[in-house]
Structures are given as structure tokens and as C-alpha cells.
Amino acid sequence: MSTTLGTTSAVAINDVSVRFRSKRAETTAIEQVSLDVAPGEFVSIVGPSGCGKSTLLKLVSGLLRPSSGSVTLLGEQVRGPRHDIGFVFQRAALLEWRSARRNILLQAEMRGMSSAEAGRRADELIEMTGLTGFENALPHELSGGMQQRVALCRALLHQPRVLLMDEPFGALDALTREQMNVELHRVWRETGTTVLLVTHSIAESVYLANRVIVLTQRPALVKEVIDVELPGERDYSATMARPEFAAATARIRDLLGAVTGHD
Amino acid sequence: MKPVSGDRWRGVAERSWRPAALLAACLVIWHLITVTGLVEAYLVPSPARTFDLLVDKWSYLWGHTWVTTYETILGFVIAGVLGVLVAVAMVYSRTVESTAYPILLFAQVIPKIAIAPLFVVWLGFGFEPKVIVAVLMAFFPVVISTVTGLKSVDAEMLELAATMGGGPVKTFVKIRFPAALPHLFAGLKVAVTLAVTGAVVGEFVGSNEGLGYVILQANGNMDTPMLFAGLIVISVVGILLFLLLDLAEQLMLPWHSSRRGAAVTTLLAKGGT
């Protein structure tokens, strides 16, 4: 997808550990994790609750500094909050007083992008994510799925080469979640963005990704990396029915069962 | 999503009839107390007499009302601007917060009526001491509510802003300040009612005009109808200023008011002030 980068990874996490110090004790959230994500790759990260998956994304975005090790994003070491990424959280985090479209455009305003270009891009994304007709709705008038679409458009407005998603569909109902998966898959195919997705859903992690990283319980270590042997273009139901899909999900379930202790 | 205007007015009517009925009931009780001679007329004048006086002495009352309103608004505006500035400084600087908080609290705890005479000694009988007392009364709620509002901003939203790279000024203007506005307005509405009290307290201490002066004079002359009239006018001034702010809030923050309730409900919820 990106030719300028050549063989450089989009994201390189090298031997990173994160320790939090509280009054009494020091806890290790992440222990010597290494991970390479190729440009244009879709990588899912799964692991038990509270294992430090979200922490990993904060490291990549520069919102959090590692206690040791280093993170490189697009060939440049991460030293503070990075502006060349898009971030989607579990909660849409929309500004209540702005319409859907103006929430998307916040990205452009904060960056000082030209408003004509930003407007065109916003309209493109609105169409791509099926928000047409809801441009002027306020967040509280939108359903959870719609709100999350707005958050996705906002994260993609500046055409970031890396998109970080922290359980973006965790708060949605199962059906909406499937729809969002299909849409995210299409958006990823269309934009060629590198995606790092943290999720609790095993099916979601496999359906969307090229690779699934399974983390252990806190402190998080990389337990195993699963290569997803599925075609690039993935129809939802057909993918679910494939033996490769079943094998990958079964393997992940086993691994998670092993790390959480109920197998 | 938006109610049709006819529905809206029906809604207002539905919400207002109870307080209106209560008000009417109070007037009836007041009337009955005075007609039955339960209380001497020189202690509690009848509603009719009070309203007659309101009409008769309208121009006299109007002049004094204007003085008090002017002092109130001036004090309120100064308190609002200062309060927001201090709150912003406190939210952005730990040092300012820890330094200013004890002084703020001290200024709030000290009885304004007790220090008002000092301002009269310093500044004379003009409008200045009244404005200062009004500022002192109104300042605290503005600071507290603005600080709360600025701190209530979603942490994830601020993290998101950091990845957007707009810098602290844009983050403040586009995210933090607008997010704090509902809290700020709540503080301003309390503040404006306190500013009225502040102005009247200032007038009590030393003045020759304003509604506080009117009440003090009426008290000295045992002129209870005038005293009651003065009280009614003060209340009306406070309520009108409050409703004005409520209206401003609804116009400026339609996204917020649409989920809250209308003016009358808020007024009742804050009844004590």
C-alpha cells in the first residue's frame, strides 16, 4: 500500500515494558512486548480483560511513554503524542453540541486543514460509512452504532496511515457490531490504512485481521501470534463458514481459556 | 426530534399551572389573613393595598429599582468575568489552584454584611460599595461551577485532542470551554440571584437610593405596604434576571437545554435562592 516506507514497519514495538507505580506497589502492565506491523496490515489484539491491551495502543499513539523499550511509528520513534494517527475509543467521545458532520470536521479544525478539502473528505467518509442523511444530527439523536461511525470518520478524516481502535464496537449490540465489522472491513480495503484493533470478540478479531496477537493476563506478554489464512475480500457469512475461520477462532479460544484458566 | 411549536407551548402550560396555582393560593391566604383581622393591618398590609401602592408609587419605585438593577448587573458581570478567568487559571495551574483556594474560601466564608460597612467607609455612599458586595456574593459560585465544568471534560476527548495536535488554545476554545458551559450557566444563575442580595445588602449599609434604601426607609416609618412592595419588586428583579440567563442558556446551548427542562422547572428546582 505505502511504497515510500519500503520495508519499514508501520508500527514497531521493541521490547516494551510498562510499569505503573502506586503508593504501595509497582505493577507491571506490559512485559517485554515486541510487535511489528507491516504497512497496510490489519492486526487484532485480544487478551483477557485488564491485561493491558489498551495500554499498548496508548504507547503507539504516544499518549503514554514506555518504562523501557521503544516504539517506532512510521519509521520515527514515538516520544510524545503523535498526530499522524487516527484513534477510535470504545465510547465515541463526541462533542454533544456539534452535529455529526461538525464532529468529524473537528479533526480538520484542530489540525488547521483547509476547510474545502476537509469538507470534501468528510462528505466522502459520510457516504462510505452510511451516515448520509444524519450529517446534521446531534450525537444524542444518533444510535450507538451511528455515533461510532462518526468517531470512525473523524479518525479517518486526515487520512492517517495508522488507525488505532480500542474496543470500538464493545458497547454495541451483536447485530450492529456485525454490521460495523463488515463496514470496517470495507473501509480498510478502500483506504489501505494500517489498523491496530484491540477487541474482546474472537470472531471480530479473526474476521477483520491479517494477524491476531493473543496476549496473556497481566503483565501482558505475547502468548501467540495467529496468522489468519483468509482471502483479502471477506464476505461476512461466507467467512464465518470457512474451516480456516473456525480453526483460528478455536485456537484463540483455547489460548484465552488457557490464560484465564477456564478451559 | 424537535417538538412542534404548538406542543411546546402546551408543554409550557402544563408545567406552569401548578406553580401558578400555588402562587394564587398564597395570595388568597394572604388576603384572608388580612380581611379576617387575624393580623393587624399595620403589620401585614392586604395584597390589594400593596398592589395599589405599587401602582401609585410606581415612578418612585421604578427609579430605585433601576439603581439596584444597575448595581446588580454590574456586580454580576464583573463577578462572571473575574470568576471565569480565575477558574481557568486554577484549572490550568496547580500552583494557582492551591494558592487561590484558601483565599477564595476565606472570601466566601466571611459574612458580606459584616464587611460591607468597610467598603462604605472606603468608597462612600455611591454605587461602588454596592457593586463590590454584589461581586463578592456572586463570584464564588461562578468560580466553583466553572472549575467543575472545565474539569468535567471527558479524559478520552482530551487524549483525542492531543492526537489531533491542535495545541492547548484550540483544545480550550473548541472542546474544554464549550463543554464547561452547562456548569458555567448553572453557576451564573445562582450568581445572579446572589448579586441582587449583594446589591441590597450594600444599600442597607449606607445609601440614599435603591430598593434596599426604600425598604430601610419604609421600615423606619413603619410603612409596611411600602416594605412589602419593595420586597416584591426585589423578587421580581431577581426572577427576571434569572429567567434572562435561562433564556440565554437555551439559545446558546440548545443541545443541552433540549435534554434538561424548561425555565420554570429549573426555577423551581433552584427555589431556595
Q: What is the ipTM of this complex?
A: 0.83
Taking CB atoms and an 8 Å limit, are A89 and B160 in contact across chains?
Answer: yes
| CATH no. of A11-84+162-260 | 3.40.50.300
Same domain, B152 and B103: yes
Q: Is there a single domain that holds both residue B82 and residue B184? A: yes
The verdict on B265 and B164 lying in the same domain is yes
User: What's the pLDDT tens digit per position in B210-221?
Assistant: 999 999 999 999
Is residue B118 domain-shared with residue B191, that is, in the same domain?
yes
Q: pLDDT-derived band of residue B4, with 50, 70 and 90 as boundaries?
A: low
Question: What's residue B230's pLDDT?
Answer: 93
B175 to A63: CB separation less than 8 angstroms, yes or no: no
* A165, closest residue in chain B (CA to CA): B160
List B residues 155-194 in contact with A (Cβ-Cβ < 8 A).
Answer: 156-157, 159-166, 170-171, 174-175, 178-179
Q: Residue B75: is its pLDDT beyond 80?
A: yes
Residues B26, B60 within the same domain: no
Chain A residues in contact with B1 by the CB 8 A cut-off are: 137, 141
Task: Classify residue A174 as left (phi > 0), alpha (psi -120 to 50) or beta.
Answer: alpha
Q: Are residues B65 and B23 in the same domain?
A: no
Nearest to B159 among A63, A86, A95 (CB): A63
* Contact with chain B for residue A106, Cβ under 8 A: yes
Assess if residue B148 is contained within a domain: yes
Number of domains in chain B: 2
Please tell me the number of Cα atoms within 13 Å of A131 on its side-chain side: 34
Q: Which domain holds residue B73?
A: 56-269
Is residue B45 one of the residues assigned to a domain? Answer: no
Could you tell me if B263 and B243 are in contact, meaning their C-beta atoms sit under 8 angstroms apart?
yes
* Residues in chain B within 8 Å Cβ distance of A110: 161, 164-166, 170-171, 174
| Same domain as B61, residue B35 | no
Query: In B, which residues are within 8 Å of A102 by CB distance?
Result: none
Which single residue is written with the C-alpha cell 394572604?
Answer: B30
Q: Is B49 within the bounds of a domain? A: no
Q: Does any CB of chain B come closer than 8 Å to the CB of residue A5?
A: no
Give me the mean pLDDT over the A32-46 stretch: 90
Percentage of chain B beyond pLDDT 90 is 56
Residues of B in contact with A58 (CB under 8 A): 159
To the nearest whole angstrom, how far is the Cα of B167 from the nearest Cα of chain A? 8
- Domain containing B133 — which CATH number? 1.10.3720.10
- B85 and B183: one domain? yes
For chain B, the average pLDDT equals: 87
Over residues B18-44, the mean pLDDT reads: 88
Least Cα separation, residue B154 to chain A (angstroms): 7
Please tell me the distance from the alpha carbon of residue B78 to that of residue B152, in angstroms, as a whole number. 24
Highest mean pLDDT (candidates A38-47, A63-72, B155-164, B184-193): B184-193
Q: Pick the range with the lowest mean pLDDT from A128-142, A198-212, B22-36, B256-270.
A: B256-270
Q: What residues does each domain of chain A span?
A: 11-84+162-260, 93-159
Identify the pLDDT of residue A90. Answer: 87
Indicate whether B195 and B67 sit together in one domain: yes
Q: For B142-161, how does the pLDDT look when each residue is reduced to its tens digit (9 = 90+)?
A: 999 999 999 999 888 999 99
For residues B142 and B217, state if they share a domain.
yes
Q: A75 pLDDT exceeds 50?
A: yes
Task: Please tell me the predicted confidence (pLDDT) of residue B258.
Answer: 58
Q: Is pLDDT larger for residue A159 or for residue A7?
A: A159
> CA of B207 to nearest chain A CA: how many angstroms apart?
46
Residues B94 and B216 in one domain: yes
Chain B contact present for A61, CB below 8 A: yes
Q: Do both B11 and B92 map to the same domain?
A: no
pLDDT band at A260 (very low <50, low <70, confident <90, very high): low
Choose the weakest-confidence range: A107-116, B39-48, B169-178.
B39-48
**CB burial of residue B199 (10 Å; 0-12, 13-18, 19+):** buried
- Over range A71-86, report the average pLDDT: 88
Q: What is the pLDDT of residue B1?
A: 47
List, in order, residues 6 or more apart from A201 with CB less than 8 Å away: A169, A177
| Residue A38 CA: distances (Å) to CA of A9, A56, A233, B52, B268 | 5, 17, 18, 86, 61
